[in-house]
Structure 1
Amino acid sequence: MQKADRAMKITVVIPYFQRQLGLLRRAVDSITAQACLPEWCVDIIVVDDGSPSPAKAETFSSIPDNMSIRIVEQQNGGVGSARNAGIVAAAPDTTYLAFLDSDDEWGPSHLKSAVEQLNAGADFYFDNNIIDEGYDAFSHSAFMKKTYGSLDLEKPLVGILDGKAGFDAILHECLPHTSQVVYNFQRHSSVRFETQMRRAGEDQIFWLTLASRSTRIAYSTEIHGRRGVGVSIYRESLAWDSENGLSRVADEILMRTTIRHHFSLTRAQVKILKNDAQLVCDHFVFLALRNARKQPRQLKDALLRLTRQGPSFWTMVPVSLLRLPAYVRKLRAEFRQ
């Protein structure tokens, strides 16, 4: 489809790896249902990351005249690689770039809310979303609880952070959900996702990079999206016996190593990362001992990665072994709740 020349271009990048048809169509439908002004040109880029169910097999509803959709295909490289391919494929004159996972959906005012804040000077924007029925992300965020106490979703708020405050908030927790982020592409077109982390952490480093280069970050507590139930590399690795659990936790340890190498941090921030890394190492040791017999190859691969890319991991292992009995008791207590 040929696009008319418009005043503002918004590119939406959708990394695609699914096993069933229909999810991508719903995601795209939520884009075409946006309350967009006619002068906006919206370019949807679907990056098929070697998906078992090909993106080209999807059928889409009618695409409005001010929107277009194209599919980029690549061999499987992980979600970070797929998002990077979408960023590279974005038109150079893209004003704002947004992400949407292929099983997630936007509320109809997501882009409108984002553009309002970006036009007002924000470098990047993110908003709230539904994780499960009756469970929204921000109401359970440590940052939001500290800032607002209990959120009243009937009275949504817009918050503004400078780059330093935004960096600190995201360092503590991965506050933005990727599908709810829109950023100023003209200011930040060079930012890319880490590709060696395929199960966790690549998005948090991306947001930290944006924050470190930003003067103004905006967010809304209003719910403007819903997470889906399709293939989730992260969610599928959360079970204690998941064959990908060790790889995910290794990614989470290496993410903290990467952050320490990539950014100039204060002593307080380094302390936060060290404490977080030790907690993650506790879980890695638990999973390693639990699954050593059933998953020897996965354990070997994870240990080799950690040794090559984050050898300081080994300095944390003795502490985790000493804390293991208390950690197991804690997990059992949480499991019973």
Structure 2
Amino acid sequence: MTKCTVIIPYYQREPGILARALRSVLAQTHPDFDVIVVDDASPLPAEADLQEFPLEDRARIAVIKQPNAGPGGARNMGLDHVPADTAYVAFLDSDDEWMPGHLGDAVAALSLFDADCYWASIRGGEEFYYHFGVADLAGTTEMVRLSDDPPVVEVPDLASTMLRNWSFLHLSCMVIGKALFSRIRFEAALRLAAEDVLFFYDCVRSARRTVLSEAVGAARGEGINIFHGMGSDSPLFLKQQFNTWVALDRLESRFPHRAEDRASIEAYKQTARNQALWGQARLVKARKAPQFRQLAQWAWRDPKLLRNAVQLAVGKIAG
């Protein structure tokens, strides 16, 4: 068998959410795995959700506790504790669930096609309207079919494809090989946004080969995430948009890019600027002071923010 390690970052307030995720892991048709749950100073400790499982199942689950470092920091902690005999690492958010065949399909595809990076499709409810499946890429992207059962494809220009829209990729559907999990890490400081996108891109550009499955590997669930309670006029929202810009800026400088890829990155950067400034405009409209310190930090690194602010102000006056 091929051993997998499952990494689950955990931070929840409601009982049962982690147990639901773990049940979906323990139901996998591929039996050779262990689980690392990283308790990121969760308000509800991880152990509370482990009590329902028999001892033989709990013996496969290691719980690591750490001071709160955000999801990227928690995943890094898990990656740093992967056993030496692990061939593949799979990620699962604590409020998501796997389909029973997810690990088996991933191991088969990675092994058969000599790949070290894999994504399945994800399914979500109305709250996650922005997700779309791998099969939906067919209308706009060149795809090479590698297998019908399971339905595995390869996108020759995956890096450019994800820069246009990365909503078909999700961590709960991602499985990577040793060449990637032994050296690539999340930038934990970008904890409010885009550290996953930067990790995705690093893996895609560094992978020997990446394959995708049109089959659903995971389903989005409901639990605490970084967006809960975050209004567009909150300091956290501005920080989130700034971190998104920082991640994109690092992505842009880390690898060489074609002109069309740079245009995609700049379009996302521009969206982050606009979102941030619209949120600050709402503060002003509510007779509250803008978050000048964070804005100044951003403008120092990105002069285009100031130009956009002036354009927004002129537009408001003209309107």
Instruction: State the TM bucket, normalised to the shorter chain.
Output: 0.7 to 0.9
SS of the counterpart of 2:60? Answer: strand
Structure 1 pair 236–301 and aligned structure 2 pair: CA distance change class (3 A):
farther
Q: Given that residues 23 and 103 in structure 1 are in contact (C-alpha distance below 8 angstroms), is that contact kept between their aligned partners in structure 2?
A: yes
SS of the counterpart of 2:140? Answer: helix
* Aligned AA (1:57): A
> 2:206 aligned with 1:200, yes or no?
no
Alpha-carbon distance in 2 for matches of 1:62, 1:140: 36
Structure 2 partner of 1:3? none
> 2:58 aligned with 1:43, yes or no?
no
Q: Given that residues 104 and 227 in structure 1 are in contact (C-alpha distance below 8 angstroms), is that contact kept between their aligned partners in structure 2?
A: yes
TM superposition shift of 1:236: 4.5
Alpha-carbon distance in 1 for matches of 2:187, 2:5: 20
> 2:237 aligned with 1:245, yes or no?
yes
TM-score (norm. length: structure 1): 0.81
Structure 2 partner of 1:167? 159
Structure 2 partner of 1:27? 21
TM superposition shift of 1:269: 1.8
> 2:120 aligned with 1:131, yes or no?
no
Of 97, 103, 107, 2:95 maps to 103
Q: Given that residues 285 and 321 in structure 1 are in contact (C-alpha distance below 8 angstroms), is that contact kept between their aligned partners in structure 2?
A: no
SS of the counterpart of 2:192? Answer: coil
Structure 1 residues 62-71 or 12-21, which shifts more?
62-71
> 2:69 aligned with 1:77, yes or no?
yes
TM superposition shift of 1:276: 2.2
> 2:216 aligned with 1:223, yes or no?
yes
* Aligned AA (1:230): G
TM superposition shift of 1:326: 7.9
Structure 1 residues 126-135 or 51-60, which shifts more?
126-135
Q: Given that residues 95 and 186 in structure 1 are in contact (C-alpha distance below 8 angstroms), is that contact kept between their aligned partners in structure 2?
A: no
Alpha-carbon distance in 2 for matches of 1:233, 1:113: 30
TM superposition shift of 1:240: 2.8
Of 28, 52, 57, 2:48 maps to 57
Alpha-carbon distance in 2 for matches of 1:306, 1:187: 31
TM superposition shift of 1:275: 2.5
Alpha-carbon distance in 1 for matches of 2:259, 2:138: 24
Structure 2 partner of 1:290? 282
Alpha-carbon distance in 2 for matches of 1:265, 1:55: 42
Structure 1 pair 189–296 and aligned structure 2 pair: CA distance change class (3 A):
farther
Structure 2 partner of 1:233? 226
Structure 2 partner of 1:264? 256
Structure 1 pair 136–225 and aligned structure 2 pair: CA distance change class (3 A):
farther
Q: Given that residues 138 and 221 in structure 1 are in contact (C-alpha distance below 8 angstroms), is that contact kept between their aligned partners in structure 2?
A: no
> 2:177 aligned with 1:184, yes or no?
yes
Structure 1 pair 236–212 and aligned structure 2 pair: CA distance change class (3 A):
farther
Q: Given that residues 79 and 181 in structure 2 are in contact (C-alpha distance below 8 angstroms), is that contact kept between their aligned partners in structure 1?
A: no
> 2:310 aligned with 1:317, yes or no?
no
> 2:140 aligned with 1:146, yes or no?
yes
SS of the counterpart of 2:12? Answer: coil
Structure 1 pair 72–66 and aligned structure 2 pair: CA distance change class (3 A):
closer
* Aligned AA (2:274): D
Q: Given that residues 2 and 107 in structure 2 are in contact (C-alpha distance below 8 angstroms), is that contact kept between their aligned partners in structure 1?
A: no
Alpha-carbon distance in 2 for matches of 1:113, 1:324: 53
Structure 1 residues 286-295 or 187-196, which shifts more?
286-295
SS of the counterpart of 2:158? Answer: helix
TM superposition shift of 1:60: 3.9
Q: Given that residues 78 and 198 in structure 1 are in contact (C-alpha distance below 8 angstroms), is that contact kept between their aligned partners in structure 2?
A: yes
Unaligned runs of 5+ in 2: 144-148
Aligned length: 306
> 2:203 aligned with 1:214, yes or no?
no
TM superposition shift of 1:249: 1.2
* Aligned AA (2:217): H
Structure 1 pair 295–109 and aligned structure 2 pair: CA distance change class (3 A):
farther
Q: Given that residues 27 and 106 in structure 1 are in contact (C-alpha distance below 8 angstroms), is that contact kept between their aligned partners in structure 2?
A: yes
Q: Given that residues 254 and 306 in structure 1 are in contact (C-alpha distance below 8 angstroms), is that contact kept between their aligned partners in structure 2?
A: no
Alpha-carbon distance in 1 for matches of 2:313, 2:30: 53
Q: Given that residues 128 and 136 in structure 1 are in contact (C-alpha distance below 8 angstroms), is that contact kept between their aligned partners in structure 2?
A: no
Unaligned runs of 5+ in 1: 1-6, 150-154, 328-337
Structure 1 pair 245–180 and aligned structure 2 pair: CA distance change class (3 A):
same
SS of the counterpart of 1:108? Answer: coil
